[in-house]
Structure 1
Amino acid sequence: MKHLRLTAAVLLALGCAGSALAQDNQGDGTARSKVKPARLVSFDGEREFLTASSRLRVWRAEVGYTLSVDQAGTPTDCQLTEKFRMNYVNEKLCEVLLKHHTFEPAQDASGASVEGTYQGRLNFLELRGKD
């Protein structure tokens, strides 16, 4: 009898999980689920980023960042994923990132341009390998 209850509980749990997954696949109805994110067209600041990092004595293997992108595809704000202790370092690296990224703007469900974000990572070994 215990095995029947356990089997019934497992089947019920699996049924509920399947139902939840089906609802997630339909989209959650929020604006975010209907937005096509900003698409990177180019980043041409490898050399300048390496130079600035060297001057600022950045000793990390990678730098992660999030850029806000306006309706025209222009980056407007930058946040480093793991900030440095000195705000000056964060600001100088973000200046390079903002200056050298080009995007296609995010689009809503109707295809109209909207504000969006872009997340990226720069790996110093890969950047140095391009030189």
Structure 2
Amino acid sequence: MRRAILSPVALTAALAAALTPAPAAAAPLVLKPSSDWALKSYDDKCRMIRTFGSGEDELVLWIDKGGPGPAVNLTLIGRAVRSPYGAFTRIGFAPGDLVERSFITAKSSKGRPVLGVFGVQPVSLLPDEALAADKQRQSGEEQVDFADGALTAVASEATIQQRYAAITALELNGAVIDPITLQIDDMLPMAQQLLACTAALTDRLARASQGGADGSTRIKTRDEATWAGKIQADYPFHLLRAGQQGRVAVRVTVNKEGEPTFCEVTAYDGPASFNDSACLLMLRHAKFSPATDAAGNPVAAFYSTRITYRINN
């Protein structure tokens, strides 16, 4: 019987390989603010802008909001987001949890790498679990309420403000070469500025969406059969493999050029994982003719629709 013989050189190499520690996880790139928050108002969105770091590490953050819901779009511009990999990244505002999100990439007008993430909720809107648990302990009786109101309860305004004030960082892990931590302060006043801008924007967009007897017109879809087919064909693979189906209602902000620039989920039936896919694909594929005012000028407005994910046998 033949036996494998390991030479002394091979044995030494094998032992060295076995004793070599696994490479440590990459240390995060931690960047401090190098500018104040700046608010910009557009026809179709409100944007807060801040720069972090300097030199080669400089990173610009855009926080965009184009509707009344709780989510924002995040855009990071700079060398730190070059050469992204994979289909998902994990992002979130500390001290909250990171969430998995699809992302898109581009180049800025200055040629810098861009990474965009849609539908990020900066803070949880759910009631304080600790407070609910404390009330439960006081009552001494365990209860379960399946009523719609219990499932859609929202935290108080004071609690939401406390959560914004507690934010210390934006963290990005996965899809980028090194994890990124942006140290953030003054998050509550920033959010209040952004929400005040968005409230005025939402009122204007809602009125423009209605059309009217004065000659103003609503948004019209263009080549809907083609782009709707692309959205439905891009079925999230893990949900397809699990045989999951669902419906997602979305509200899209469409600018005066007819381009979708912001998307919010307004209702859904099925796994929540469909939500991210639905909005991202609407922004990527949908085409529109913009709404017009009474004088026939194109204006930004809202467009609402429902996307159905169905597996055909």
Deviations 1:3-33 (A, max 9, x none): xxxxxxxxxxxxxxxxxxxxxxxxxxx7654
CA root-mean-square deviation = 3.0
Deviation at 1:124, TM superposition (A): 3.6
Deviations 1:19-65 (A, max 9, x none): xxxxxxxxxxx7654531110012324244343344346532x3222
Other-structure match for 1:8: none
Other-structure match for 1:92: 277
Q: Aligned partners of 1:122 and 1:94: how far apart in 2? A: 10
Other-structure match for 1:18: none
Are 1:104 and 2:285 counterparts?
Answer: no
Deviation at 1:96, TM superposition (A): 0.6
Q: Aligned partners of 1:70 and 1:48: how far apart in 2? A: 21
Match of 1:55 among 214, 222, 238: 238
More displaced stretch, 101-110 vs 77-86: 77-86
Q: Aligned partners of 1:96 and 1:90: how far apart in 2? A: 10
Are 1:42 and 2:223 counterparts?
Answer: yes
Q: Partner of 1:90: helix, strand, or coil?
A: helix
- State the TM-score, normalized to the length of structure 1: 0.57
Which protein has greater RCO, CA pairs closer than 8 Å, 6+ apart?
1
Large movers: runs of 4+ above 6 Å: none
Q: Aligned partners of 1:54 and 1:82: how far apart in 2? A: 22
Other-structure match for 1:77: 262
Deviations 1:48-106 (A, max 9, x none): 4343344346532x3222111000000011112215775x6423321111111110010
- State the TM-score, normalized to the length of structure 2: 0.27
- Aligned runs of 1:9-28 on 2, under 5 Å? none
Q: Taking structure 1 as reference, are residues 128 and 113 closer, same or farther at Cα in structure 2, changes over 3 Å only?
A: farther
Q: Partner of 2:258: helix, strand, or coil?
A: coil
State, as a whole percentage, how many aligned pairs show the same letter: 23
Q: Aligned partners of 1:53 and 1:107: how far apart in 2? A: 35
Q: Partner of 1:49: helix, strand, or coil?
A: helix
The one-letter amino acid paired with 1:90 is: N
Q: Taking structure 1 as reference, are residues 128 and 114 closer, same or farther at Cα in structure 2, changes over 3 Å only?
A: farther
**Is residue 290–residue 298 contact of structure 2 (8 Å, CA) maintained in 1?**
yes
Match of 2:303 among 96, 99, 118: 118
Q: Aligned partners of 1:85 and 1:122: how far apart in 2? A: 13
More displaced stretch, 44-53 vs 112-121: 44-53
Q: Which runs of 5+ in 2 are unaligned?
A: 1-206
Q: Taking structure 1 as reference, are residues 69 and 48 closer, same or farther at Cα in structure 2, changes over 3 Å only?
A: closer
Paired positions, count: 97
Q: Taking structure 1 as reference, are residues 128 and 72 closer, same or farther at Cα in structure 2, changes over 3 Å only?
A: farther
Q: Taking structure 1 as reference, are residues 115 and 122 closer, same or farther at Cα in structure 2, changes over 3 Å only?
A: same
**Is residue 230–residue 285 contact of structure 2 (8 Å, CA) maintained in 1?**
no
Answer 1 or 2: which has greater helix percent.
Answer: 1
- Kindly name which structure, 1 or 2, has the bigger radius of gyration based on alpha carbons: 2
